Chains A and B, each alone.
Chain A
Amino acid sequence: MDYQFHWRPVIQALPDLLKASLVTLQVSLIAMALGLMIGLVLYFFRASQLRVLRGFGSTWVEIARNTPSLFQIFVFYWGLGEFGIFLSSYTAVVAALTFNCAGYMAETYRGGFNAVNPGQDKAARTLGMTRFQSMRYVVLPQVLRAIYGPMTNQFTWVILASSLGMLAGLRELSGETQYFNSRTFRTFEFFAATAVIYYLIAKMALLLMALLGRPLFKAERAKS
């Protein structure tokens, strides 16, 4: 192997790479937050009595889950041009990841709601709570506990998937790496450094989710 590794360009670019990681975090957080909200709406759509809503929800979920996320990013980035809609890389990537997250979270919510005994809701209603109150104070907290694990996985997934932004010209961590790569041709060194940064971000995200989840599982900890 007569390849000389040159790490200096990577070290010089490190501040820019770290700055670009903030874009990665931003994109992932927005997509995850929107995905969580829209996913819940989609879940209610799919559980609704109205066929139109059910159809809409199911179509969204099935497309999101059965086509590649990279394809979804391309659709938002290039596919809408014929309709005169031109999204920036940033908007397209956030929209595509949101679309995907919402689809997956809708399924996760379904599992979460199924895990809550219907008797809980009935008991709360019998005690005089309104439908909304029962949902807010009795059912949702339990659903949240049930979906917290899958939600954490989904969050990690979004962070990693945001790397696809590179292929739609977004200067997040991967895109920035590619930019430096095209200037220095130190492909291996740059992407190795980026791999390490992604690993650290993913671990930090897990830690963050574990800390955020602590109040949620307080009751269970007290029991044991």
Chain B
Amino acid sequence: MTDVFTTLQWSDLIFLLEGAWKTIQISVVSILLGTLLGMVFGWLMSLNNKLITFAVMAVLDVFRSVPLLIQLILFDSFVAIAGFPLPAFWSGTIVLIIYTASLVAVVVHSGIDAVPPGLRAAARCLGMSYWQEMRHVTTPVGLRTAFPSWLGVALATIKDSALVSAIGYVELLRASQILNTRTQESVKIMLLVGLIYFIISYPLSRLGARYEQRQKS
């Protein structure tokens, strides 16, 4: 019997790196847009209006209480039956953006909450407008508490981007599975893929740890 499986070649490394590049693309788009959207939601929650706070919280909570995988499949099948099917990249990324936003909203909300109300009132008393105060007082002060948590969210988004493979997008993890099936050399491939993910996310997690230490001292 001739070999059904072909051995790993150097070109396969390029295939994996292409997958890694797509993982980075999904992650960067999702983190950027998810953060922007999440900032809006977080700001809405911190307005002193209980109804808005509750409504935004309840809706975003749904996204945090349903597995991302289910959300991906659900959205992907929904756009298909609604008659405007999207490429897997976009249906995956849109879900990831909203999911990231639901996490960022909490971070932003608690960041704003951490700013002493007296400080904000003082800024207004000095004649700052609402937005001036937001821009020059609340943002820099709140960022100090929010930044480490935001890094955590960004890290989670990078890792969660692997789930987009489930709706057929060939990012890093999916690329590795394709190679796995063809070559059956799972150990080498998985070590390599694990290493690539590690290289992408480890610097961010170090940055978070460093920041945390600096704040303590």
Contact with A along B145-178 (1 / 0, CB 8 A): 0000000000100011111011000000100010
Contact (Cβ within 8 A) B190 A199 = no
Q: Are A70 and B173 also in contact (CB < 8 A) when A187-B73, A195-B71, A199-B62 are?
A: yes
Interface contact A66-B197, CB-CB below 8 Å: yes
Of B66, B67, B187, the contact of A82 (CB 8 Å cutoff):
B187
**Residues on the B chain within 8 Å of A202, using CB:** 65-66
Q: Are A71 and B74 in contact (CB under 8 A)?
A: no
Once A79-B186, A187-B73, A191-B73 are accepted as A-B contacts, the answer to whether A66 and B67 lie under 8 Å apart by CB is: no
> Is A69 positioned at the interface, with any CB of B under 8 Å from its CB?
yes
| Shortest distance from the beta carbon of B77 to any chain A beta carbon, whole Å | 4
Indicate if the CB atoms of B66 and A174 lie closer than 8 Å. Answer: no
In the complex, what residues of B have CB within 8 A of residue A62's CB? 198, 202, 205
Q: Within the complex, which residue of B62, B81, B159, B165 is in contact with A188, where a contact is CB–CB below 8 Å? A: B81
Instruction: Name B162's contact: one of A63, A71, A81 (CB within 8 Å).
Output: A71
Stretch of A116-124, A155-163, A212-220 on the interface side: A155-163
A161–B163 Cα distance when bound, in Å, is 11
B113 proximal to A (CB < 8 A): no
Which residue of B74, B160, B201 contacts A66 across the interface (Cβ within 8 Å)?
Answer: B201
Nearest CB in chain A: distance from B193 CB, A: 7
Cα of A192 to Cα of B73 in the assembled complex, Å: 9
Using known A-B contacts A70-B163, A71-B194, determine if residue A188 contacts B78 with beta carbons closer than 8 Å: yes
Max chain B CB contacts within 10 Å: which of A67, A78, A82, A198? A67
Known contacts A79-B187, A163-B70, A174-B70; A71/B65 CB under 8 A: no
How far apart sit A15 and B188, CA to CA, in the bound complex (Å)?
Answer: 42
Whether, in the assembled complex, A180 has its beta carbon less than 8 Å from a beta carbon of chain B, the answer is no
| A203 interface residue per 8 A CB criterion | yes
User: How many residues on A have C-beta within 8 angstroms of the other chain's C-beta atoms?
Assistant: 37
**B137 contacts the other chain (Cβ, under 8 Å)?**
no
| A188-B190 Cα distance, complex, nearest whole Å | 33
CA–CA, A14 and B25, complex, Å: 39
Tell me, rounded to whole Å, the shortest Cβ–Cβ distance linking B16 to chain A. 13
A interface: dominant SS = helix
Given the known inter-chain contacts A67-B194, A68-B159, A82-B186, please indicate yes or no for A161 contacting B74, CB distance below 8 A.
no
Residues of chain B in range 57-76 having any CB-CB distance to chain A below 8 Å: 62, 65-71, 73-74
How many B residues have CB within 8 A of the partner chain?
37
Cβ-based interface call for A167 (8 A): yes
Tell whether, in the assembled complex, residue B65 and residue A203 are in contact, meaning their CB atoms are under 8 Å apart: yes
User: Is A194 an interface residue, CB under 8 A from the partner?
Assistant: yes
Which positions 76-108 of chain B face chain A at CB distance < 8 Å?
A: 77-78, 81-83
A71–B190 Cα distance when bound, in Å, is 8
- In the docked arrangement, what's the CA distance between A37 and B193, Å? 29
Q: Which of A63, A70, A191 contacts B74 (CB 8 A)?
A: A191
Question: How distant is the Cα of A127 from the Cα of B188 in the complex, in angstroms?
Answer: 56
Tell yes or no: A164 within 8 A of B by CB: yes
* Cα separation A201 to B104 with both chains bound (whole Å): 23
Which residue in A63, A82, A195 is a CB contact (below 8 Å) of B194? Answer: A63
Cα distance, A163 to B72, chains bound together (Å): 12
CB pair B70–A194 under 8 Å, yes or no, is yes
A93 to chain B, nearest CB (A): 13
A63 touches B198 (CB 8 A): yes
A residues with a Cβ closer than 8 A to B are: 1-3, 62-63, 65-71, 74-75, 78-79, 81-83, 156, 160-161, 163-164, 166-167, 174, 187-188, 191-192, 194-195, 198-199, 202-203
* A-B contacts besides A75-B194, A199-B66, 8 pairs, CB < 8 Å: A67-B197, A67-B201, A69-B159, A71-B194, A82-B187, A166-B69, A187-B77, A198-B66
Q: Which 10 A-B pairs have the closest CB atoms?
A: A163-B67, A68-B162, A3-B81, A68-B159, A187-B77, A202-B65, A160-B67, A79-B190, A66-B201, A188-B77
Residues of B within 8 A of A (CB): 62, 65-71, 73-74, 77-78, 81-83, 155, 159-163, 165-166, 173, 177, 180, 185-187, 190, 193-194, 197-198, 201-202, 205
